[in-house]
A and B are shown apart, each in its own frame.
Chain A
Amino acid sequence: MPTRLAALASVLAAAFALWPLFALDVAWPGTVRDYLEAKGTVESGAMNLVSAIYLGYRAYDTLGETVVLLVAVTGAIGMMAAGSALAPREAGGAPVEPARSPRREARSRQRTELIAALSGKLGAVILIFGLYVMLYGHVSPGGGFQGGVVVASGIVFLALGSHGAAPSPLVGARNLARIESAGFAILLVAACLGVASGKGFLAPPLPGGDPVSFIIVLNAVIGIKVGAGIGLLCVAMLTEEAA
């Protein structure tokens, strides 16, 4: 029972330490809200203030976030690709038989024609919706990340639908990896344009122009990168199961 006991003690300790934060009931500070309400749209060009922060004021954090996604995708894909080459050994040196439950094989056969046909057709619609969410993120709820996730689910639908007959090139792991690293490179170039034009790293580079174009570009690039990245993770795990 030491594990249970440790869990209980951890929970109690965490509850004690975090209690003041959950009990906190002061009025929400309005500094940022009031500032953005007055100036946010003018300074960033985006009516959606969440997008204004995400890709304008705090785009540096967003860059870090895309790097995290890149690392997760590279790491996870690397682990799955290298996995089959591994010959695990026990102390005596005998390889451990990887446990493959029969259920697992049955599950991959559960993809019926119905699911394949439906999800294959739905995939394209979802992709278009994702692009819409992505590109209109500066004026309406949505944005690059949200659109990207929708695009990723579109890719998953396409992958589920590409059962048998020629699969869409969009569900190929190599293509997705290519799109993702290209998206990362474009994002860095866009971020560095400001350095070249003298306005600083991650600043909207065009002199005098409406800064909204920068947000739209970033929205599109991040959407495509996130879509490809998360799509790649899902596709890799799907094919992992089928393999």
Chain B
Amino acid sequence: MIARILVGLLLLTGLATLVARRNLVKKVFGLAILNSAAVFLFVMEGAHSGQGAPIVDGSALQIVDPLPQALMLTAIVIGVCVTALALAIAARLHRATGSLDIDVIKERLGNGHD
């Protein structure tokens, strides 16, 4: 239970960073934390479903459910890709406006955004 609450707090930390920080790169960090917390929860809980690694090698241990691990593998890659793309966009915005602060960027992009 404690572990799950801690992961939940991690998730909320990510969300708060994502919303409250004005720096684009820190926003991306927040998103990465948010995503990792969800992945963490799924894998952590899945690991309680047995004792052994999900490799069939004749050992007597009850293996864990391999599905969460396989699914989260996919979710991790997708998370990395989203992060990379977000950083690329942030870099591009920085080059266009000279700032990483979202309010400054909005202001400098100016009247296209009335």
Interface residue ranges, A against B (CB under 8 Å):
3-4, 6-8, 10-11, 14-15, 18-19, 22-23, 25, 28, 30, 32-33, 36-37, 40-41, 47-50, 52-54, 58, 61-62, 64-65, 68-69, 71-73, 75-76, 79-80, 83, 86, 88, 90-91, 96-99, 139-141, 143, 145-146, 226, 230, 233, 237, 240
Contacts and interface: CB of A to CB of B under 8 A. Distances in A.
User: Which of B49, B78, B84, B97 is most buried by chain A, counting CB atoms within 10 A of its CB?
Assistant: B84
Contact of A88 (B1, B85, B88, B97): B97
B55 A48 contact: yes
Contacts of A25: 1
A76 B54 CA distance: 36
Residues of B in contact with A, size category: 35 or more
A230 B98 contact: no
Say whether chain B's binding surface is mostly helix, strand, loop, or mixed.
helix
Contacts of B49: 28, 30, 33
Contacts of B48: 28
A226 B77 contact: yes
A207 to B, nearest CB: 25
User: Which of B4, B15, B77, B110 is most buried by chain A, counting CB atoms within 10 A of its CB?
Assistant: B77
Contacts of B7: 22
Interface of B: 1, 4-5, 7-8, 11-12, 15-16, 19-20, 22, 41, 45-46, 48-50, 53-57, 63-67, 69-71, 73-74, 77-78, 80-82, 84-85, 87-89, 91-92, 94-99, 108, 110-111
Contact of B19 (A3, A54, A75): A3
Contacts of B82: 72
Contacts of A7: 15-16, 19-20
A14 to B, nearest CB: 6
A92 B31 CA distance: 35
Contacts of A48: 54-55
Contacts of A64: 74
